[in-house]
Structure 1
Amino acid sequence: MTLSGTQVGELAAARDRLRTELMVARADRPASTARGIHHTALLSGDVRRTVEFYQGVLGFPLTEVLENRDYPGSTHFFFDVGNGNAIAFFDLPGLDLGPYAEVLGGLHHLAVSLEPEQWHAARARLDAGGVPYLEESGTSLYLTDPDGARIELIADPLGEMYGEKVT
């Protein structure tokens, strides 16, 4: 489905209203009550394949492997993505999970900030591994992981996107 020009204009006006009505000016904005994202948990169809991709190709060190407390036999494993943040995965053996699907409340993509030199190194590893990606704006690489989750590797600093402060 493609939106009409009128619909796009109406959606832009709705974003402007949200900004005006709900966003507190940076100088007046209270500090967040959160310390940060402890981890984001995704699903893995194959633990070894996921580790080889996230650690070997993307360069995120595997930091822990343990049994999932909520599902006996399931593996819960973590990767360091810097600044005390982690990406975690569960495999759910015995469940007939379908392929990745974009659904309301689901993951659209996970964006991970890399220093520019690490971003270039990751792009070289993607090229060497034959992993397809889409480069946008000279700072973002969009790719899918082995299970279809969308990942963005972004060279913009934390708290910024394309030169704009987002935090």
Structure 2
Amino acid sequence: MTAPRPLAAGVRIGHVHLKVADLARALDFYCGVLGFTLTQRYGTQAAFISAGGYHHHLGLNTWESLGGRPPPPGSTGLFHTAILYPTRADLADALRRLVAAGVPLDGASDHGVSEALYLRDPDQNGVELYWDRPENAWPRTPAGELAMVTAPLDLASLLATRA
């Protein structure tokens, strides 16, 4: 196999579309708890939500999943959707929202390059909320390669972060 030509530097993930069992419940979580904005709705079957005015970052639909159950462990599918926050203070605000809504965390990690919160949405889809440290602060090996880690994240320190 010949090496494929790399993608253009500007290519990015535009949105993620999730199957959900209950659209209202999903909107309550993504808009009510996390703070996304509803940009368009297709009746009771689908909705598109955004952060910062983009047409949509997440699509939510019940076309094939109305009333459905999450896939069982050991199944293939989406591991998690990662939502990037611009600053540590913004991630701290997200944590405060989760705490206020009683949403439990699956984990919280300091990866050296980023700090991340891991949780599940109401349909048990994995969600990562994170912020990236400035690139000049990323840990590197003596050879200059990234040296990402997975260490516990100090949630009290994160909550103490203010804008």
TM-score relative to the length of structure 2? 0.65
Residue by residue over 1:49-105, the C-alpha shift from the partner in whole angstroms, topping out at 9 and shown as x without a partner, is 1111101111111111015xxxxxx6121111448351111113786633234533x
Distance 1:22-1:143 versus aligned 2 partners, 3 A rule: farther
Alignment match, 1:97: 68
- The answer to whether residue 18 in structure 2 is matched with residue 42 in structure 1 is yes
The correspondence of residues 33-112 of structure 1 with structure 2, limited to 5 A, is: 34=11, 36-66=12-42, 75-82=45-52, 84=54, 86-92=57-63, 97-101=68-72, 103-104=75-76, 106-112=77-83
Distance 1:78-1:94 versus aligned 2 partners, 3 A rule: closer
- Unaligned ranges ≥5, structure 2: 139-145, 147-163
Distance 1:23-1:94 versus aligned 2 partners, 3 A rule: closer
Q: Which has the higher helix share?
A: 1
Alignment match, 2:8: 31
Q: Secondary structure at the match of 1:139?
A: strand
Alignment match, 1:15: none
After the TM superposition, which parts of structure 1 deviate over 4 Å for at least 4 consecutive aligned residues? 21-24, 93-96
TM-score relative to the length of structure 1? 0.64
Alignment match, 1:121: 93
**Higher RCO by CA contacts (8 Å cutoff, separation 6 or greater):** 2
Distance 1:156-1:82 versus aligned 2 partners, 3 A rule: farther
**Conserved in 1, the CA contact under 8 Å of 2:21 and 2:67?**
no
Provide the C-alpha distance between the structure 2 equivalents of 1:95 and 1:46, rounded to a whole number of angstroms: 6
Aligned residues: 130
The alignment's C-alpha RMSD in Å is 3.2
Alignment match, 2:108: 135
Q: In terms of Rg, which structure is larger?
A: 1
Aligned-pair identity in percent equals: 31
